[in-house]
Structures are given as structure tokens and as C-alpha cells.
Structure 1
Amino acid sequence: MSACPRFDHLLVLPHLRVQNANAVSSPLTHGFPSITAFLGLMWALERKARAAGLDLAFKAVGTVCHDHQEQVTEGGFVKAFRLTRNPVGKDGSTAAIVEEGRIHLELTLAFAIRSERWNSEPEARDADIATVTELLAGMRIAGGTLLPPEQPGRLRYRPWSVDLTGTEDDRQAEFRKARMRLLPGFVLVSREDRLETRLAELQAENPAATRLDAWLSLSRINWRYRPAGKDGKGEWLDDRKGQGWIVPIPVGYGALGDLHEPGSVANARDMNTPFRFVESLYSVGEWLSPHRLYSPQQLLWYAG
């Protein structure tokens, strides 16, 4: 895993209400949007901020989910997405339904920032944060629409920043205070170590086990029967008990071939940009309460 880029500040945009975000995070998973959606948002926001004349470099992004409502049918073991009916065609025939998963979210975004201006001119920070907030208001978040804050109850949810300069002890002290302001909610953090641990466990029983086997094993509840002991009673054990809220997640894309020249691939979305076929890459994450975070780097996601 690559190291987290260096940053000096955290810019926190709290309790954003997002309507109809994309709940299909990859071809194999659904629920909370893919982390790649928030990385794309970060890069797009940085370009807009630079165009507005702001000296801000966005290095990483973290998300805190405070509330969610996936748009699925209620009741029963099997659930289905609530889909919209498209208008009829010109000939009056019924249009096809394109299945889309949607989710309403209330989340906090935390951006890792480097800015020489914020270090030399702290008084300019409030104006820059206001500009970033205004720019974000006109953007999509994971395909969803950002709703305006409710009044007057949401006035307390104003954007804020954290200085993470000075010594390592100073940074840790500032972050310990800041993480409490993210409550209540849950943070999705990377747990690649769990994947490697489960792979070693499986290969101890079956040397042919692969990382896909380990990923699938962590994606479900695995019940195992422990034979009766001296008390004469056997029991079923859940191998995820005590392991935390582990979830399968997409973490990016892997190349399937060489980079093609612009315009050389038919029907590409952008004929002026080099093109490459990719596939989703998967790992596992864990939902944690913010007060359990031990460093700002644990909160953040960045490009490797």
C-alpha cells in the first residue's frame, strides 16, 4: 500500500444531505457508494477551486456516514431496488427499465489539504472555505443531488478546518479533538490486513485457496460446528463474531491492456483522451465509529 500524501489541514464539510446517490458501487457490491466516486469528486472540486483562484491542493478524502436510506423494497428476505418507469416511446410502447440503485445519504466529507496561503494568511481561510462550499453546492456527489441545508436546525453544521501542522504530537492532539465532532456516525476505513489474514487461514487448510476465496469468505457469515466437548454439547460458531463490521468494497480499477491512442477506440466517451480497458479491484473495509480512529491517515482515502 502506498503512503498517504503529505497534508497540513483537514477541511470538513459536515452533514451534507445527498439525494439519490448511486447505490450500485460495483458489478458485485451495492449499498454505500464506491470510494472512487468520492475521489472523483475531490479531483473535480480541486479543478474548480484552482479555476476560482484558490491555492488549495486536495490530497485525500474521508467520508463519515450519519444516516442512509437505500431505495429498496421493504419486507421479506430478498429485496429489490425501487425503479422509475420511463416515459413511453414515440409509438406508445413501454420503454425498457434500466435498473439503477439509489440511496439517500447524510454524510460528512473531510478533505486533506495542502495550502501555502492558509499557512501564511490564516485570515483568508474562511473566505476560501466559503468558496469551496459554494462550488460543491453545484456538483453531484456519487451521482446524487446535494440538497440545501435545512433551516434553522442545520445552522450549527458549518464547514470547519483543522490545522495539522507542528510536531506529530501536536497533530495527534488536534485530531483527537476533531474526531469527536464527527459523532455520531461511521467511517469506512481500509482493512487490507484482514484480507491477508483470512487468506493465510484458508491456505493453512487448503493451499489452493486464493484471494478471491478470502474476499468471499469475509463477505458473508460463515457458520462452523464445534463438536461436543466434555459437557456433551456442540455449538455453531460465527467466524465473524468479534471481527468488527467488515464489508466487501471496490477500491479502484486495474488495467486489462495497453493504453490506446485518443480516437483509436470506437464509441469512446472522449475521443481526445487516451483510452484503456479496466476492471474493478476489490478489497475489504470496516465501518468504525470516529472516536476509534487513531490517526487522520486512517480516515482518508487516496490514489495509490
Structure 2
Amino acid sequence: MLENSRPLHRAILVLPHLRVQNANAISSPLTWGFPAITAFTGLMTALERRLGSGSGIAFYAVGIICHEFEAQITSGGFTRAFHLTRNPVLHTGESAAIVEEGRVHLELTLVFDVEISDVHLEETSRCALAECIAGELAGMRLAGGSLMPALPGHRHRPRAPVLETIPDADDSRAQAKQFRRLARRWLPGFALVSRDDLMRQRLCELREECPEATVLDAWLDLSRWNSHAVESPEDKPGDPTSNVVWHTDPHPGWIVPMPVGYAALCDLQPPGSVRGARDQTTPFRFVESIWSIGQWISPHRLERLEDLLWEPEHDPEHPTASRLYRCRNRYQPPIERPESAL
């Protein structure tokens, strides 16, 4: 936040084609691959704190577009193993216990929903602020990974960070035009959006077959490829010599399981009351991961900026929501028209 007052003008900050080396690829106890969304909202908070309240900018949400993904793994058939470091031996000569670490190299574009003060309304001031933020970010870590400078001769020439004010909410056409112009610069790439609607839809379908189905069953069903056997239509039903054809159920897009935040396991503990906590001046609470379903989608298929952004959500006053620390995305899938309307 700014000193003395809230920022006055909504803007969009784009940090294009960031190279991240050795980011954390183990995003939760049940998933691996792309870093968790909380790593990016945490980066947003840390960046705002580094800039300070006198910088004239405040951050509210972040969008992620991935251009390259290179997991540091050894692949053999259906088995994959992470490339692990060899730690020094103990003073007894024995091997030290290893906590498995997964790493991945990434190329990302980060899009921030921000508000800026009057002092940054001029283009020259906005460009200087964007360059300052990019320089500050270069000395930070993202999901445990190091931000690296652009490679010479890379297919994407280095682009300067962009900080633009967003047109008024009443001018939806101008907002859409601005977003389409920026989205074209993010190609080729894929944006990560939320698909909570698929979880609800799949749960209803499973409960039609089995009323005892749970949300976990729906999540696991969407997280894997499901195949089933179908008898060949040329053969008679029940014929033991009939041929079987295996069909794989299609997915509605590039669907992935993902952690979206944390749920509290206990009440908030006073600062310094929990032994071993890193920060003895901040209230402490034990939490566990919560999961949902996400989708990778090309940025040019998004209709508005809100479809891209992830916003941290916590309501300390609500009796139930006070125990949830969750990231929300407002992506709205296009409405499928019935075949009769085509």
C-alpha cells in the first residue's frame, strides 16, 4: 500500500519472459510439476514489501503465462525420477538423509493487477517504475528458483516491462482492446486458470452412478486418464471370442490437478508460542494443502484480464472462511451452444 492513501488508478504491470532456474517442482504432497499458485502470490507480496509504501504502487493479483517448462528428471518408460544433489557425508562417514527436491527450469510472463498513484500517470514515470520493479525482482527468488538474465540469441528478444493504466470500468470496449493487444505478445504460451466448475460437474456425474462419491473421487477422476473396454460392434454380446476395444475418456482441455491454498488445522497461536517457528513475532497456525483443478489455455482465448488473474483470499471475520487461505481465479468458460443453434 501507499503512504497516507490508497492508490488511485488501476493499472496492469507485465514482466515478460522471465527465466527461472531450479524452481520447486514439488508443489504439494500430492502433485508435482508446475510451482504452486501460492509461490506467485507470495512473490507478489514480497515484491510489494521490498518496494515499500512510498513507491506509489500496490499489488492485488497476479496472472501466470508459461512459455517453457523443463523438468529436471530422468525418464524411463512410465517411470520418472528427479535429479537430486549428492550431499556431503556426516562426520561419521555415513550418508546424510536426503529430503527429495524436485526442480524445473521455466520461462514465464507475470501479469500483475496493480494500482498506482498520481505521480506515475505520465508515461516516463511509469516506464521508470517498471524498470525499477524488474531490477528489484532480478534479485529475488521465485518458488525457490533463481531469476536469470535473458540468453543471447534466444528466439524471444528481451522485452521491456510494461506498466499501463487500465481504461475506466465503464469503457469495456477499450479494456477488451487493451487486453487483446497485450495477450498477443504472450504467444506462444499457456495461461493457468481455475476450473472449479469441472469439479462440481464431475462430482454430480459420479454421484449419479455412486451416491457415496466424494469430492476427492471427482478430483482423482479428473487428474488421470480413464480407459474402459468396449466390445466390438461386429461381435455378438457375450461371445467369449469377441474382440475388445479400449477407449480413453476425453478431457475438456488441458486439465491439471493443482494446489490452490491452505486450510487451517488449529486455532491461531500467539507469536512465539510454537517452538521452532521461523518468525517469533507473527501469529502461527498449522495448515494443510487444499486442491482443485486448473486448466492451461492459450492467452488469446481469454476474454478479459480477470480471467487470467489469481487473487489471495482470506476473511478473518467469517466463521468458516477465516480458516481458509485460498487463491481465487475468476475465469469464465465460454458457454457451449446447443447443436440446434449452430
TM-score, normalised via structure 2 length? 0.82
- Structure 1 position 284 matched with structure 2 position 272: no
Per-residue deviation at 1:236?
3.2
Decide which of 8, 16, 23 is 2:10's aligned counterpart: 8
AA at the equivalent of 2:107: E
- Partner Cα separation in structure 2 for residue 7 and residue 114 of structure 1: 5
Q: Give yes or no for the alignment of 1:238 onto 2:248.
A: yes
Q: Name the CA shift for 1:92/1:173 in 2 (closer, same or farther; >3 Å).
A: same
Write the distance in 2 (CA, Å) between the matches of 1:303 and 1:160.
23
Query: CA–CA distance in 1 between the matches of 2:119 and 2:72?
Result: 41
What is the CA–CA distance in structure 2 between the aligned matches of 1:48 and 1:109, rounded to whole Å?
17
In structure 1, list runs of 5 or more residues that go unmatched.
Answer: 1-5
Task: From the superposition, tell whether residues 7 and 26 of structure 1 become closer, same or farther in structure 2 (CA, over 3 Å).
Answer: farther
Indicate if the aligned counterparts of 2:184 and 2:300 stay in contact, CA closer than 8 A. yes
Partners in 1 of 2:71 and 2:118 — Cα distance? 41
**What is the rounded CA distance, in whole Å, between the counterparts of 2:158 and 2:224 in structure 1?**
39
Q: Structure 2: which 5+ residue stretches go unaligned?
A: 1-7, 237-242, 314-342
For 1:92, the equivalent position in structure 2 comes to 93
Q: Secondary structure at the match of 1:240?
A: coil
CA distance in 2, matches of 1:8, 1:91: 60
Q: Which has the higher contact order (CA 8 A, sep 6+)?
A: 1
The alignment covers a number of residue pairs equal to: 297
Pair 1:40-2:42 in alignment: yes
C-alpha distance in 2, partners of 1:195/1:19? 33
Contact 2:120 2:126 in 1 (8 A): no
Provide the C-alpha distance between the structure 2 equivalents of 1:268 and 1:115, rounded to a whole number of angstroms.
35
| 1:39–1:60 CA contact under 8 A, matched in 2 | yes
Task: Find the counterpart in structure 1 of residue 218 from structure 2.
Answer: 214
Match of residue 193, structure 1, among 194, 197, 203: 197
Counterpart residue number, 1:3 = none
1:157 aligns with 2:151: no
Deviation per CA, 1:13-43: give whole Å up to 9, x if none.
1111111000000000000000100000000
Give the TM-score normalised by structure 1: 0.92
Larger radius of gyration: 2
Contact 1:7 1:59 in 2 (8 A): no
CA distance in structure 2 between the partners assigned to 1:120 and 1:174 by the alignment: 17
Q: Please give the root-mean-square deviation of Cα atoms over the aligned residues, in Å.
A: 2.0
**What amino acid is aligned across from residue 102 of structure 1 in structure 2?**
R
- Correspondence for 2:108: 107
CA shift digits 1:131-177 (9 cap, x unpaired): 10111011001100011222365653221234321311210111011
For 2:260, the equivalent position in structure 1 comes to: 251
Displacement after TM superposition at 1:275 (Å): 0.7
Contact 1:162–1:178 (CA under 8 A) maintained in structure 2 = no
Q: How far off its partner does 1:256 sit?
A: 1.1
